[in-house]
Structure 1
């Protein structure tokens, strides 16, 4: 029960953080106000949400109950103190409000305004925005965790770098997977081959994760970047999982998810180590880069159009490995029909063409 509550709390914190990123993205009313505040060389402290606890941590100021607009928020930030806004960003409730969070709450911030913002985010569930007039910097705090709002131009520069990296990595990955298929059909795949491909998968997915963070921060400006990201990651998730299942000691989907988590958490230098990858795949024997790895064939079989969803698993369960399937195809393709393959001859021809033995 305690673990479940902790997980829920962590999920709630992550949701608040994501909401904060979206609410301050370019094009949103709050971001418009923040841009105006920066342009006016003003400082500001803005609390959004959890208004009951926010108000309990301060005093004085002006009581308001007016509709939220970017212009109103900008004008009210010309006064000292904080501006208190409701969670939905529809009402401005206080202006020139003096916040007094517990000074013992931990924070690594140095400026008075940023320290107050960080402590208020620890004390309450509010999103707290701090604008530094001296440094022209906007920091957003949720649960004591802060991030600095970047300009659209800075974000787009990062996006361009990431999309180029993803494009190059995807090209390398596609070539490597095509080569892997040939090696699998010839039964000469080595642990070193797998290690290189797993590394490319992780580079691509990590870049995709970073790019997604930029896209969220860009708001409506990130549509094209989102389309590019989706294109570069198309089919990657399935191919990665199937490849892991092909070579892991335990080929179950649950085990594959655990292997993916472990690969993702492995530092780059170790991820390039064949011995490390073998251990993550569940092998306890001493395997080196040149060790031959026999695939089940799930990824390769799933690439054949006539192999419908779930059929690759049935074929592998029946024959045990890709090599056994190839032998069965050479011997008597009709045997595949007995386990539910509707077009065994088409499957046989497809595998032969992939193997370079087609007519």
Structure 2
């Protein structure tokens, strides 16, 4: 029970951080105000949301209740004290507000403004932003944890590295999948082949996830990058799930989702271990040279005449890709029974992929 509560709290903090990063991304009015504060060599302490509890933790200041604009926030930051803004970023409620959070609340921050911001984020559910006048950096605090905002130029350096990694990995993965299809049709796929392919999928998905986090920080500056990311990732998420279903001991979609979670949580060194991959797939007695028999979901789903959901029906009817290849010429009527409208085209496509028929 305690572990579940801790996980729920961690997920809530992660969600709130993502919301906060989105609200402070380039292109937003709040980010414009923060950039103006930095350019003006000013400091600031801004509390956004949970206003009742924020106001209860302070006193004095000026009661405003005026509409929020970037220019107003910038001008008000010239005064000492905190600025209190509503959750929707529509109203500025207080300026020059003196905050008095409980000094016993733990924080590892050193500067007075950052310590106050960290403690206010622990005391309330507000997003608290601290702008350091001396260091000229912006830190967003949620639940006592700080995230320092990066400049667009700084983020783009990391983005370009990830794009190179995505392109290289996608090229390797495409080659590996073509080879895997040939091996599947020859019925000679080994656990080592599957492990190598899964490793490349995980590299691709991890790079894509990291790039997604950076896109959130880029805001309106990341549209072109998002298009490039989609070009490298397009269709690979579904392809990965089908691969897992093809080779897992339990081929259900629910189990495949669980397998993918465990693979994603596995450290890099273990991802290269065929024995570890076999264990996650549900096998305890297979070595890297063990022959693996695919269901054929991935290969069948790539054929134009196989409509959505049809691959599962074909696999249910024939049992495996190899059994389908063995039976398809002798008894094509079985394909009619599962609803394949052009069994001849399906057969030709499979044999053409196999190189057995022109």
TM-score interval, normalised by the smaller of the two chains: over 0.9
CA distance in 2, matches of 1:134, 1:218: 25
Which residue in the other structure is 1:292 paired with? 291
- Take 2:145 and 2:190, find their aligned partners in 1: how far apart are those partners? 44
Shift of 1:48: 0.7
Aligned-residue CA RMSD (Å): 1.7
Determine if contact 1:22/1:217 at 8 Å carries over to the other structure.
Answer: yes
Q: C-alpha separation between the residues in 2 aligned to 1:246 and 1:27?
A: 44
Task: Give me the TM-score of the superposition, normalised by structure 1.
Answer: 0.96
Structure 2 gaps, min length 5: none
Deviation at 1:154, TM superposition (A): 0.8
User: In the TM superposition, what whole-angstrom CA distance separates every residue of 1:131-173 from its partner, at most 9, and x where no partner exists?
Assistant: 1111111100112222110001111111111111111111111
Secondary structure of 1:22's counterpart equals: helix
Mapped to 1, the partners of 2:161 and 2:146 lie a distance apart of: 24
Cα deviation digits, residues 195-241 of structure 1 (max 9, x gap): 11101111111111111111111111110111111111111111111
CA 1:274–1:2: 2 relative to 1, 3 Å: closer
| 2:185 is equivalent to residue 185 of structure 1 | yes
Paired residues for 1:33-72 under 5 Å? 33-72=33-72
**Structure 1 position 307 matched with structure 2 position 306:** yes
Q: How does 1:69-88 map to 2 (within 5 A)?
A: 69-88=69-88
The 3 A distance-change label for structure 1 pair 266 and 7 is closer
Give 4+ residue runs of structure 1 displaced > 3 Å after superposition: 1-15
Structural mapping, 1:131-280, within 5 Å:
131-280=131-280
**Which shows bigger deviation, 46-55 or 313-322?**
313-322
- Counterparts of 2:144 and 2:330 in 1: how far apart (Å)? 66
Q: CA deviation at 1:61?
A: 1.3
Cα pair 1:334 1:345 within 8 Å, conserved: no
TM-score by length of 2: 0.96
Is residue 327 of structure 1 aligned with residue 311 of structure 2? no
Equivalence for 2:121: 121
1:242 match: secondary structure: helix
Render the CA deviation track for 1:227-261: whole Å, top value 9, x for unaligned.
11111111111111110011111111111111000
Secondary structure of the equivalent of 1:96? strand
Alpha-carbon displacement from aligned partner over 1:8-46 (angstroms, at most 9, x marks no partner):
766554443222111111121111111111111111111
Specify every segment of 5 or more residues in structure 1 that has no aligned partner in the other structure, as ranges. none
